[in-house]
Amino acid sequence: MKLIKRADVYSPRHMGICDILIEGNKIAKIAPRIDGYDGIEEAEILDMEGRRLVPGYIDLHEHITGGGGENGPASRVPEAQAGQLLGNGVTTAVGLLGTDGVTRSLENLLAKARGLCEEGVTCYMLTGAYGYPAPVLTGSVERDILLIDRIIGVKTSMSDHRSSALTGEELIRLAVQARRGGMLAGCAGFVTIHVGSGKGKLDPLFYAAKHSDVPVSKFLPTHIGRTKELLEEGIRWIGMGGTVDMTAGLGEKKLEETADKILRVLEADPEAEHMTLSSDGFGSMPRFNEQMECIGLTYASPSSLHRQLQTLVLGRGVKLETALRFLTANPARVLGLTGIKGTIAEGADADFAVYDDGMNLVHVFAGGRKAVWNGERLMKGTFEE
């Protein structure tokens, strides 16, 4: 049992100074003041001294088994470690595959997702990869989602020279399988779509919305800020009731450029309800020339999520409760976990991040446990130094 005292709580809505009682991995009570626990041996009392306390971040796009490989075997990216995620405020992650759906297998992805759960990160995964038909574990996307507990949706790609040139009809068939599997399993059953900078942009997605009965909420196009044209198509998708996913910037220049794109989205969606922010963590970030030859390669980090938040709030004046929606309440809705993840509320999971005055991460709680305390990572991967 833990009693957090005097926290300036954002749920992400600003609630002001509150006390929070944690029992096990859940929030048992929130009130302006909770007394009566002094001297109780089982109760650990932690004074936040007015620091801001926010929900733990949800990263919908993590290559937990590593991405890469576009420039040969030596370009494969290392796997994620629990301490790397938790140390950057990420308490819930969705693992997925990228270009390589062969050596980065779904079997490996499932084992890694389960391992991260054992190490303190709430981790789900998507079946599928860049290719179509989607690689699966049990014979179909529907069976994977229904029969395997950590699988909550499917990953595919379009408008990219590495994709399988997915058509609108193929996207519909994939989405129907994901939706039906999700309905039967009682989970989200959604489709994450890697969108490249190809000529088709969001054409297959608009086709699927027009020619199928699958709700637009079951499609999540990602990397929507890749080009100016793609961003405007994403805003059109928002106008249809859909949600888009923006990839956080890597490096100061990209952080600023991405902030500009997020502000453009906020012009069309001032309530900040139709965009999520993810890191593409441990996914490769190759550079290609006009002949589509790989001429450079780096990889993304989960640290970009918090840095992007700082850029928006401290650099661009976006309200914290607005910017937080992109990596708390909105991704929780995509995952079908509203009220459980991405919020500070009674009955929700006790996943928090705590900031100092400079909006740096000082404490992180995952499932009610101290994952980071005074900047020191206490919860790490089994073989993490």
CATH number for the domain that contains residue 288: 3.20.20.140
Residue 359 maps to a domain: yes
Same domain, 92 and 46: no
Residue 139 maps to a domain: yes
Same domain, 95 and 199: yes
Rounded-to-integer distance, Cα 4 and Cα 15, Å: 15
Q: Is the pLDDT of residue 295 over 70?
A: no
Tens digit of pLDDT for each residue in 140-184? Answer: 999 999 999 999 999 999 998 888 889 999 999 999 999 999 999
Tens digit of pLDDT for each residue in 235-269? Answer: 999 999 999 999 999 899 999 999 999 999 999 99
Same domain, 150 and 204: yes
Domain total for the chain? 2
| Catalytic residue numbers, as ranges | 280
Question: Could you tell me the sign of the dihedral formed by the alpha carbons of 153, 96, 151, 129, in that order?
Answer: positive
| Parent domain of 115 | 56-334
Would you state the structure tokens that stand for residue 7, as one six-digit string? 């926290």
Q: What is the pTM of this model?
A: 0.95
- Mean pLDDT of the 307-328 span: 98
Q: Is the pLDDT of residue 30 over 80?
A: yes
Same domain, 30 and 73: no
Say if CB 35 and CB 336 are below 8 A apart: no
More confident residue, 256 or 41: 256
Same domain, 317 and 284: yes
Residue 245 maps to a domain: yes
- Mean pLDDT of the 106-111 span: 97
Same domain, 260 and 115: yes
pLDDT given at position 70: 67
Same domain, 32 and 69: no
Residue 181 maps to a domain: yes
Residue ranges with strand state E in 306-368: 352-355, 361-366
Residue 384 maps to a domain: no
- Mean pLDDT of the 298-316 span: 94
Strands 52-55 and 352-355: antiparallel
| Identity of the amino acid at 170 | E
CATH number for the domain that contains residue 356: 2.30.40.10
- Mean pLDDT of the 328-354 span: 98
Work out the mean pLDDT of the chain and round it to a whole number.
Answer: 94
